[in-house]
Amino acid sequence: MSSTQFLQIALDLESVGLLWQPEIGDEVFGKQKPAETSASVLVDTGGMTPPELRTTYLWLPTVEQMVTQIEARQGILLHAGLELSQNMYRYKTMIHSRDHSIEGEGLSLREAVGIGLRDLLMTMKGGGVH
């Protein structure tokens, strides 16, 4: 299941323009009553169209789905790994695109890749990286 931190990353991805093409098996989070909803797997669309699904659910992409999104933007995931030291435990990623090198870090590989993808999307839109 997803951490609160990854939920924020997924919201950020959506806000910077990552468009979800809903598929059965995708992990989602209900937008209507977030405090009462937990992450679940989309097993039935209930006859909803893709735009209705995007309005109802927040997509929680997997690491593999995010890497596919990086590649679709001609980015390369140069590094993804765990960094350990006496005082720190975190995952780091390095994404290289035509004009930028972007680092991401998080408490899980999913978070680190998500932050890197978010920042890649922001640079492609001409925004800054925070």
Kindly state whether residues 78 and 27 are assigned to the same domain: no
Q: Encoding tokens for residue 68?
A: 């596919």
Kindly state whether residues 70 and 111 are assigned to the same domain: yes
- How far is the C-alpha of 85 from the C-alpha of 64, rounded, in Å? 27
Kindly state whether residues 85 and 99 are assigned to the same domain: yes
Q: What is the reported pLDDT for 77?
A: 97
Asked, for residue 48, whether it belongs to a domain, the answer is yes
Kindly state whether residues 81 and 33 are assigned to the same domain: no
* Parallel/antiparallel/unpaired status of strands 40-41 and 76-84: unpaired
Q: What is the reported pLDDT for 79?
A: 96
Q: What is the reported pLDDT for 128?
A: 47
pTM listed for this prediction: 0.89
Number of domains into which the chain is organized: 2
Kindly state whether residues 100 and 67 are assigned to the same domain: yes
Kindly state whether residues 47 and 96 are assigned to the same domain: no
Q: What is the reported pLDDT for 92?
A: 96
Last residue of a domain, one of 59, 81, 107: 59
Last residue of a domain, one of 33, 59, 85: 59
Q: Which CATH number characterizes residue 119's domain?
A: 3.30.160.20
Report angle CA 9, 91, 88 to the nearest 5 degrees: 115
Kindly state whether residues 27 and 79 are assigned to the same domain: no
Give the structural domain span for 33.
19-59
Q: List per-block mean pLDDT (blocks of 10 residues) for the chain, which spans 130 residues.
A: 83 96 95 75 95 96 97 96 90 94 96 97 71
| Dihedral angle over CA of 55, 112, 128, 53, nearest 10 | -10
Kindly state whether residues 25 and 50 are assigned to the same domain: yes
